[in-house]
Amino acid sequence: MAESLNVVLCWHMHQPYYREGLDGPYRLPWVYLHGIKDYSDMAAHLERYPGMRAVVNFVPVLLEQLDDYAQQLDTLLKQGRPTQDSMLNLLAGAEPIPADPESRLRIIRDCQRCHAPRMIHPHAAFHRMLRFVGATDEEGVGSQAMHWQLGYLSRQYFLDLLTWYHLAWLGHSLRQEALPKRLMAQEKDFSDADRRALLELICTTLAGLVPRYRALAEAGRIELSMTPWGHPIVPLLNDFANMRDALPDAPAPVAATYPGGAERARWHLRHGLEVFERYFGRKPVGMWLSEGGVSEDALDQLDALDMRWTASGEGVWRNSCAKSGCPADHTASKRALFSPARIDARRTRVFFRDDGLSDLIGFKYSDWHADDAVGDFVQHLDNIASFFGDEAGKHVVSIILDGENAWEYYPDNGHHFLDALYRALSDHPTLKVRTFAEVVAHAPAQQMKTLAAGSWVYGSFSTWIGSEDKNRGWDLLVAAKHDFDAAVASGRLDAARLDHATRQLAVCEGSDWFWWFGDYNPAGSVSDFEQLFRAQLRQLYRLIGVAAPVALDVPLSQGRGQAENAGTMRRNT
């Protein structure tokens, strides 16, 4: 009897560092909002299906921020001390509702930051509150005359609006609990006690996330993996020349390479492992390098850490085949795509994302009926299994995408789709859901001579380097790294300040800053991220005792694109 085709679902849980500095205010709320919506729901789906297997990949800075939010909320609830997040403080009454129209307008706009057709329109009371002030789905608020009238709105209006926003961000599993049902039925006039109860639910949910995933891993139902600490593009830290495999003619930053970049990459890898082990009590055996960004020098670094696997996108596989001279035969080509690759004599195996199937979940199925979407998805997998016939068990289909950002585009946060998908895959007679670690031990590797440097996006690094705005960001970071190195060499930083500055540098090295630079991205998101990037660099200069360059006073990028998709795995927030 033929063996079943191996299928791996890998959910990448990622949020960048949203605090200004290491311990300053949170400038964007996406860590805790995705915590109560997606990270909670994704755990619930896995808990519901004992026969399901998946890989769940966490970025260490996300783990630290989830923990910090839970601790700050606990302190707020027990001692009344405000958190570092203004949205939570306003909800709790720990910050007063401002009186001036501009500040009130900001609250209204902040309470619109979600996918309105799925998260505002289904809630009539929430939608009505926004329409009352002339708010549109584009975060607009009526006319200039209406702006002046905002000052006459009651304090209760804003407390109700904030309550509804947080209710709308609750995941499907949390909305089944008694408290959210009661508050949604109540619709308005939420009391201090109502809002405190909601905050207690948020706090309990955030505090329980790591233990839930850890329990799933300890039960053997999921594999936990990680990304380097600050989510940097490791190949670009190692050598800017890694961009040339896929972008031979693109403009590069002024500097030939990032100074001391390979050691910085190793710092992110080592520190990430320390954080991961602190939360999960074990070392991972595999790693999704940030954005699936791979190169042969990055693979060597994973080998040195005894990682058993990593993964990237289909574009990297194509470029690697072109460099390696893979067989032109269609069957041999498919066999290589759907097998873990061994690059030369390296031990770390490389899996390649099925871009078509992954993107169906990320971008297409949200508008389908769940049963039709799952039926279509499983049929694609059945076709691949049929293609390989008796050898299907030697192959693996790798489905890899963000574990949070697609679901607000689905009805009920993707509940119906994921429920049907997990049920279908758990019971399927010829498809076997596994983890990457299981496949490494089970399926033979295909030899590949060369690994082309690139990412899951187009097989290149064009999302992070090679254009005017992105290169300008790298130039600022390179200059800061030179100043950091000089400060370290001078010996004027004591141990505590050096540790603080080293971690602050790591925040500045994250990939998300560069992701958002560029005219094709929406202006609001570009502004959020480029302002925070410049603030992070200023904080680094303060820590090393060097005056920040005046260039940090100039915006890096404007953005003119549409928020929908924005070229991402579905990373709008």
| Domains in the chain with CATH codes | 5-66+214-244+256-448 (3.20.110.20), 71-209 (no CATH), 472-553 (1.20.1430)
Of 360, 347, 232, residue with least CA distance to 301: 347
Assign 255 to helix, strand or coil.
Answer: coil
Whether the predicted pLDDT of 228 surpasses 60: yes
Which whole number is the average pLDDT over 473-498? 97
Cα(130)–Cα(143) distance, integer angstroms = 14
pLDDT confidence of residue 560:
72
Neighbours of 564 (CB within 10 A): 11
Q: Which residue has the tokens 């972008």?
A: 247
Question: What is the percent of the chain with per-residue pLDDT over 90, rounded to a whole number?
Answer: 88
pLDDT in tens, 351-374: 999 999 999 999 999 999 999 999
- Give the least confident one: 116-130, 317-331, 350-364, 522-536: 317-331
| pLDDT cut 70: percent of the chain above it | 94
Q: Residue 384 pLDDT more than 50?
A: yes
The two three-digit tokens of residue 114, written as one number: 């979600």
Per the listing, tokens 């859901």 go with: 433
Q: List 397's β-bridge partners, or say none.
A: 7
Of the candidates 557, 483, 485, 561, the one whose C-alpha atom is nearest the C-alpha of residue 521 is 561
* pLDDT over 80 (residue 11): yes
- pLDDT of residue 142 exceeding 80: no
Query: CB burial class (10 A; 0-12, 13-18, 19+) of residue 471?
Result: buried
Q: In this structure, what token pair is assigned to residue 63?
A: 């783990």
| pLDDT value, residue 361 | 98
pLDDT of 323: 84
99 close to 155: Cβ distance less than 8 angstroms: no
Which band of pLDDT confidence, cut at 50, 70 and 90, is reported for residue 329? low
The residues near 538 (Cβ < 8 Å, ≥ 6 apart) are 548, 552
Return the minimum-mean-pLDDT range out of 9-23, 310-324, 517-531.
Answer: 517-531
Q: Distance of CA 542 to CAs 33, 61, 277, Å?
A: 31, 22, 31
Q: What sign does the dihedral 501-506-509-512 (CA atoms) show?
A: negative
Report d(CA 7, CA 358) in Å as an integer. Answer: 12
Cβ-based neighbours of 466, under 8 Å, separated by 6 or more:
243, 247, 250, 251, 252, 460
DSSP string for 103-159: HHHHHHHHTT-S-HHHHTTT-HHHHHHHHHTTB-TTS-BS-HHHHHHGGGS-HHHHH
Cα–Cα distance measured from residue 480 to residue 503, given in angstroms and rounded to the nearest whole number? 14
* The pLDDT of residue 472 is above 70: yes
Count of Cβ atoms closer than 10 Å to residue 170 Cβ:
25
C-beta separation of 542 from 24 below 8 A: no
User: What are the structure tokens assigned to 316, written together?
Assistant: 């990297």
With bands split at pLDDT 50, 70 and 90, how would you rate the model's confidence at 49? very high
- H or E stretch at 472: helix 468-490
pLDDT at 568: 41
Q: Compare 567 and 452 and report the one with higher pLDDT.
A: 452
Predicted TM-score (pTM) of this structure: 0.95
Q: What's residue 563's pLDDT?
A: 46
Q: At which residue do the structure tokens 């607009």 appear?
A: 140
Are 473 and 368 in contact by the 8 Å Cβ rule? The answer is no
Q: Is the pLDDT of residue 573 over 50?
A: no
Six token digits for residue 469: 């705005």
The type of residue at 566 is: A
User: 306 near 270, Cβ under 8 Å?
Assistant: no
Name 123's Cβ contacts closer than 8 Å, sequence gap at least 6.
Answer: 164, 167, 168, 184
Q: Report yes or no: 494 and 481 within 8 Å, Cβ to Cβ.
A: no
Task: Please report, as a single letter, which amino acid is at residue 469.
Answer: D
Q: What is the mean pLDDT of the chain?
A: 94
Distance from C-alpha of 542 to C-alpha of 548, rounded to nearest angstrom: 8
Q: Is the pLDDT of residue 262 over 60?
A: yes
Comparing C-alpha atoms, which of 502, 532, 505, 527 is closest to residue 517? 527
SS percent in the chain: helix, strand, coil, step 5: 55, 10, 35
